[in-house]
Chain A
Amino acid sequence: DTAVSQTPKYLVTQMGNDKSIKCEQNLGHDTMYWYKQDSKKFLKIMFSYNNKELIINETVPNRFSPKSPDKAHLNLHINSLELGDSAVYFCASSLGLEGNQPQHFGDGTRLSIL
């Protein structure tokens, strides 16, 4: 059983389009995250959700809107895609907000903007 699953695995689309990435975890965790990994492999937190409530938004453009319908799901919707949005997006989850909680990652969604 996959603990954290993301769909789609690959997403190729044109500039200006709107797209969504879905994430589901079956670990019973309370906290979920979105990270962006750029072309140099650098990982940076985008959003953190705890019990369906947004905790942080690390200066992400408001074209990115996360939605958490329940604790097991955290989806990412992106409006008006730009070339700079090309990256790998990782969903992760942890038991809770405490810093000592290991995070479990999905396999990533590779987004390519043409």
Chain B
Amino acid sequence: AQSVTQPDIHITVSEGASLELRCNYSYGATPYLFWYVQSPGQGLQLLLKYFSGDTLVQGIKGFEAEFKRSQSSFNLRKPSVHWSDAAEYFCAVGAGGGADGLTFGKGTHLIIQP
């Protein structure tokens, strides 16, 4: 069965600084990987996804993520964060068949300091 680990429960970053959120996955085949963002009281919004091809994928809101098969990682990055980026971020893996839904990591809570 697949699993996702987000090692950082909380991360605090100053506004304007760069950001990297870590995600490691475990899955036997080629994974389908996603990053979602959840603002307080809201649902989950898809930031970006990786299926195959170029290992650096671009998403919405200036986010990007890099798939590294050798490290089983799919880290999310942003060069300069804004106060509005404060939210909960979830990494997820989709199995090949899809019927199992998405397996989520436990999330990373991002705090932006002025």
Contacts and interface: CB of A to CB of B under 8 A. Distances in A.
Nearest to A107: B43
5 pairs of A and B residues whose beta carbons are closest in the complex: A45-B101, A99-B94, A105-B43, A97-B98, A99-B98
Interface stretch (B15-23, B44-52, B68-76): B44-52
Given A100-B94, A104-B46, A105-B44, A41 B88 contact: yes
17 contacts: A35-B101, A41-B106, A42-B106, A43-B102, A45-B102, A48-B99, A56-B101, A90-B43, A99-B96, A99-B97, A100-B32, A101-B94, A102-B49, A107-B41, A107-B42, A107-B43, A108-B42
Contact of B98 (A43, A44, A96, A104): A96
Contacts of A107: 41-43
A45 B94 CA distance: 12
B67 interface: no
Nearest to B52: A100
Contacts of A104: 46
Question: Could you say which interface size class chain A belongs to?
Answer: 20 to 34
Interface of A: 4, 31, 33, 35, 40-45, 48, 50, 55-56, 90, 92, 94, 96-108
A101 B97 CA distance: 10
A12 to B, nearest CB: 16
Contacts of A45: 100-103
Nearest to B99: A55
Contacts of B32: 99-100
Contacts of A43: 44, 90, 102, 104, 107
A73 to B, nearest CB: 17
A102 B101 contact: no
A42 B107 contact: yes
Contacts of B99: 48, 50, 55-56, 97
